[in-house]
């Protein structure tokens, strides 16, 4: 009796479980591809529960696009999945648009074609790829805009290599008289005027050996490389790095050889832990990528938190001038359903001022739901207008006691988190906000129920209690918020403590160039140290929060403003630098009244000039090196040396006085502040010119840190 009861209960439980599992896949009306964002080009119905259970599921894969000389768009995709013929004879479908992507017509279905790229070259259309998954490398040619194609039959007619090969769609490039296309993480190339159907026209490069010890031992593999080329960088393959948001820069030394330096040629790029698209734009002289950055809100997802490569519900446009430093320009697609909807595997081309892109898209359009975002049921077309001027469009809304930021996309608004955290502002926490406004300078004002008005910058860093705000119209929502001035990167700390994680900075770009200043304000979480594991070059640092900020780690910071002057500025609070600081350009250090900055790591002037212009002085506890540089200071704000024995005064000390200062004999000025006298001596001391009859006395400089004005002859 007990056994029967348990069996019955088990059967009921299993039935309920099966019903629950089936619910996500239940059909809901006839599929309507027009419900998806963009323009639907190809559609493969999402599988039913029975098709999933029996291994008959099929999906859209490998989107590719090119533009013919007459302006016709050609796109392609293959069909993958357990129910497809991917392992024996791949299938690729070809589509055509004569109105710049608004409408599409299928022109051909190619058998024995998989993981393919369409491209136009020398008045012909080609499709390059593989006979099937892990198959021969093949190429086909069309002279009628994709309606009829050659068939790869031998080495003289499109059968380029035999064996087990695989790759992904990319955009072939012309450089140095050759046409180049990526073959996974290698390169295939041929002379521009060669017969591309002949196998002997092509050279296949060797690959680069991979090492599991790269990236601190977190490297597993790279794959699905994209080829790009520029006059400065040459030909490069950019692969995805599995589960890590960075790419590798594999350089073509010749058609047969690639090179790679693991110390310098990994580049952090949000969203490229999954396959991405890439091109070089000669007009702007920038590289562009379309990828899927993982939003901070999704990084700990219960299903994909340990596999960020599966999170593809947000699509962004990124740019770089040098392949190493990447910035998110804007997000152009977003869906809140990260488990079933995705925009992925972008392939795109430049069309005038726009980017014309195709996406392998998973989207609920009626019928059965896609099992997961990876399992795409559509290829969709998307246009990114004026891509060289792309910029995010943000909105702010009052939500209870919070101010929430959103970004507009071509589909749904994307949540970016809280604008102003619930911190004490001017001694009191943000409470019951009722209105928002923005002034011409871009600063945001928040009005509370009691009438108090707080002023923030466009990132969300607190500026002041605006006792007398300008005349502004306060509303519940603030649309089209003006973006912050370029060059200022604000710490948010929304993902981790790592400086080198782009998502920890607003807006999706870490400070790592001589044009950028790192700002630590109230918009960021600074309860734990910000960590650097490598060296970074920045224009400067700015501390603008009463919360103590510590910057630490085994890396170092280089202050480099190019031809300008670097900055180290403390607006308020007490902060510490526990890592080496090195100057590559002149810099100015200013600490506001009541604020503090402590150098716990080394401070090396590197032969440059560091100007201290008060009103507070820094504390230098770590090694201090000048290396022939110059230290400029104002008397009365002495240089504080916590450990004078680590000071190496192998440079010039220059003391400047405020304009209009009248000198008299007996005046004494504190220049150095130390607990015990330093053993080092400055190579030279440059002091202000005194009136006739007066002279400087520096004999006490290394005993009590002061210099004195004395009467000549006394």
Of 102, 40, 97, 91, whose CA–CA distance to 74 is shortest?
A: 97
Domain finish residue from 481, 502, 521: 481
DSSP state of 663: P
pLDDT at 26: 59
In a domain, 540, yes or no: yes
Q: What is the pLDDT of residue 101?
A: 98
User: Tokens 């912050």 map to which residue?
Assistant: 484
Q: What is the pLDDT confidence band of residue 91, given thresholds at 50, 70 and 90?
A: very high
Domain boundary among 466, 481, 496: 481
Query: Is a pLDDT exceeding 70 seen at residue 20?
Result: no
What is the spatial distance between Cα 524 and Cα 161, in angstroms, rounded to a whole number?
54
Element housing 313 (H / E): none
What average pLDDT does this structure show over 619-634? 95
Among 56-70, 300-314, 549-563, 578-592, the least confident range: 300-314
Alpha-carbon distances of 162 from 134, 285, 630, rounded to whole Å: 10, 38, 66
Q: Would you state the pLDDT for residue 146?
A: 98
Q: Which of 145-159, 224-238, 294-308 has the lowest mean pLDDT?
A: 294-308
Q: Please determine, for residue 6, whether its predicted confidence score (pLDDT) is greater than 80.
A: no
User: Which residue shows structure tokens 């359009």?
Assistant: 365
Per-residue pLDDT of 590-616, as tens digits, reads 999 999 999 999 999 999 999 998 789
Residue 196 has pLDDT above 90, yes or no: yes
Banded pLDDT at 516 (limits 50, 70, 90): very high
Question: Residue 359 and residue 414: Cα distance in Å, rounded?
Answer: 19
Q: Are residues 437 and 465 in the same domain?
A: yes
pLDDT of residue 585: 97
596, part of any domain: yes
Q: What is the pLDDT of residues 92-135, one digit of tens each?
A: 999 999 999 999 999 999 999 999 999 999 999 999 999 999 99
Q: Over 90: is that where the pLDDT of 343 sits?
A: yes
Higher pLDDT, 303 or 363: 363
Q: Could you give the percent of the chain with pLDDT greater than 90?
A: 86
How many domains, in total, are found in the chain?
2
407 in the same domain as 452: yes
What distances in angstroms separate CA 709 from CA 234, 659, 660, one per listed residue? 63, 17, 16
Helix-, strand-, coil-residue percentages of the chain, each rounded to 5: 10, 45, 50
Half-sphere exposure of 266 (CA within 13 A, CB side): 21
Residues 635 and 507 in one domain: yes
**Cis check: omega of the bond before 615, within 30 degrees of 0:** yes
482 falls in which pLDDT band (50, 70, 90)?
Answer: confident
One domain for residues 517 and 606: yes
Q: Is residue 303 part of a domain?
A: no
Residue 30 has pLDDT above 60, yes or no: yes
What average pLDDT does the segment 33-50 reach?
97
* Confidence (pLDDT) at 517: 97
Q: Reply yes or no on whether the pLDDT at 540 is more than 80.
A: yes
Domain assignment present for residue 414? The answer is yes
Residues 539 and 649 both lie in one domain: yes
On whether residue 78 sits in a domain, the answer given is no
Is the same domain home to 467 and 605?
A: no
Contact 68, 90 (CB under 8 A): no
| pLDDT at position 14 | 41
Between residues 281 and 3, which one has the greater pLDDT? Answer: 281
Over range 344-356, report the average pLDDT.
98
The residue from 447, 481, 515 where one domain ends is 481
- 419 and 541 in a single domain? The answer is no
- Given this model, what pLDDT does residue 714 score? 66
Assess whether 446 and 502 both reside in one domain.
Answer: no
Rg (CA), the chain: 31
475 and 426: one domain?
A: yes
Helix then strand count (H, E) for the chain reads 3, 62
Which residues does 229 contact at the CB level (< 8 Å), separation at least 6? 173, 174, 175, 180, 235, 236, 280
Q: Do 400 and 515 lie in a common domain?
A: no
Same domain, 447 and 561: no
358 part of a folded domain: no
pLDDT of 329 higher than 80: yes
* Model confidence band, residue 17 (pLDDT cutoffs 50, 70, 90): very low
β-pair partners for 498 = 531
Would the pLDDT of 239 be above 70?
yes
| Residue 625 lies inside a defined structural domain of this protein | yes
Give the least confident one: 127-131, 295-299, 513-517: 295-299
CB 49 within 8 A of CB 56: no
Can you give the residue range of the structural domain that contains 524?
A: 488-660
pLDDT for res 486: 84
Residue 36 domain-assigned (yes or no): no
> In whole numbers, what is the pLDDT of the chain averaged over residues?
93
Shared-domain flag, residues 556 and 574: yes
Binned at pLDDT 50, 70 and 90, residue 421 comes out as confident
pLDDT at 357 over 50: yes
Q: What is the mean pLDDT of residues 512-519?
A: 95
């Amino acid at each position: 009796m007990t056994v029967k009861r348990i069996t019955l209960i088990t059967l009921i439980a299993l039935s309920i479980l099966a019903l629950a599992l089936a619910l996500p896949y239940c059909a809901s009306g006839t599929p309507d591809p027009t419900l998806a964002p963009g323009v639907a080009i190809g559609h493969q119905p999402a599988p039913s529960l029975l098709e999933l259970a029996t291994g008959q599921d099929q999906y859209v894969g490998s989107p590719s696009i090119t533009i013919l000389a007459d302006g016709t768009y050609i796109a392609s995709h293959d069909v993958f999945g357990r129910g497809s013929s991917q392992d024996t004879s791949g299938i690729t479908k070809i589509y055509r648009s004569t109105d710049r992507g608004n409408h599409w017509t299928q022109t051909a279905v190619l058998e024995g074609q998989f993981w393919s790229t369409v491209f136009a070259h020398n008045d012909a259309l080609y499709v390059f790829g593989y006979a099937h998954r892990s198959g021969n490398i093949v190429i086909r040619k069309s002279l009628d805009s994709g309606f009829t194609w050659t068939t790869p039959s031998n080495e003289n007619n499109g059968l380029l290599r035999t064996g087990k090969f695989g790759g992904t769609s990319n955009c072939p490039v012309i450089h140095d008289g050759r046409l180049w296309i990526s073959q996974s993480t290698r390169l295939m190339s041929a002379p521009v005027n060669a017969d591309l159907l002949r196998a002997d026209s092509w050279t296949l490069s060797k690959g680069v050996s991979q090492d599991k010890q790269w990236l601190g031992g977190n490297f597993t593999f790279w794959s699905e490389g994209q080829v790009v080329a520029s006059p400065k960088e040459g030909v490069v393959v950019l692969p995805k790095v599995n589960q890590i948001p960075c790419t590798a820069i594999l350089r073509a030394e010749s058609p047969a050889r690639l090179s790679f330096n693991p110390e310098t040629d990994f580049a952090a790029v949000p969203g490229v832990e999954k396959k991405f698209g890439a091109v070089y734009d000669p007009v702007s002289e920038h590289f562009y990528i379309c990828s899927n950055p993982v939003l901070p809100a999704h990084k700990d997802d219960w299903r994909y938190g340990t596999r960020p490569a599966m999170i593809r519900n947000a699509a962004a446009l990124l740019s770089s001038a040098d392949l190493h430093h990447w910035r998110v320009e804007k997000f152009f697609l977003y869906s809140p359903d990260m488990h079933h909807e995705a925009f992925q595997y972008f392939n795109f081309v430049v069309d005038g001022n726009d980017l014309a892109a195709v996406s392998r898209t998973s989207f609920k359009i009626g019928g059965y739901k896609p099992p997961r975002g990876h399992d795409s049921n559509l290829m969709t077309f998307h246009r990114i207008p004026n891509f060289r001027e792309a910029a995010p469009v943000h909105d702010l809304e009052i939500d209870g006691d919070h101010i929430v930021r959103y970004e507009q996309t071509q589909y749904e608004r994307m949540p970016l988190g809280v604008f102003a955290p619930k911190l004490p502002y001017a001694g009191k926490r943000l409470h019951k906000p009722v209105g928002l406004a923005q002034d011409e300078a871009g600063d945001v004002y928040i009005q509370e129920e009691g009438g108090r008005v707080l002023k923030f910058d466009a990132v969300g860093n607190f500026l002041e209690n605006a006792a007398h705000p300008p005349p502004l119209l306060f509303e519940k929502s603030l649309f089209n918020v003006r973006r912050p001035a370029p060059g200022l990167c604000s710490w948010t700390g929304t993902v981790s403590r790592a400086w080198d994680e782009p998502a920890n900075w607003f807006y999706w770009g870490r400070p790592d160039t001589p044009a950028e200043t790192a700002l630590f304000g109230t918009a960021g979480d600074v309860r734990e140290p910000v960590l650097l594991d490598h060296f970074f070059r920045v224009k400067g640092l700015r501390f603008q929060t009463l919360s103590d900020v510590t910057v630490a780690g085994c890396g170092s910071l280089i202050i480099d403003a190019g031809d300008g002057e670097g900055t180290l500025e403390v607006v308020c609070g007490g902060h510490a630098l526990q890592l080496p600081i090195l100057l590559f350009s002149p810099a100015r250090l200013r600490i506001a009244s009541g604020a503090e900055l402590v150098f716990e790591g080394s401070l090396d002037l590197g032969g440059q000039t560091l100007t201290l212009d008060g009103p507070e002085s820094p504390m230098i506890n770590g090694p201090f090196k000048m290396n022939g540089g110059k230290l400029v200071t104002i008397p009365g704000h002495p240089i504080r040396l916590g450990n004078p024995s680590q000071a190496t005064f192998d440079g010039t000390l220059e003391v400047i006085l405020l304009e209009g200062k009248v000198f008299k004999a007996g005046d004494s000025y504190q220049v150095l502040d130390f607990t015990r006298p330093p053993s080092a001596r400055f190579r030279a001391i440059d002091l202000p010119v005194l009136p006739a009859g007066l002279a400087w006395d520096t004999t006490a400089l290394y005993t009590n840190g002061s210099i004195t004005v004395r009467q000549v002859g006394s």
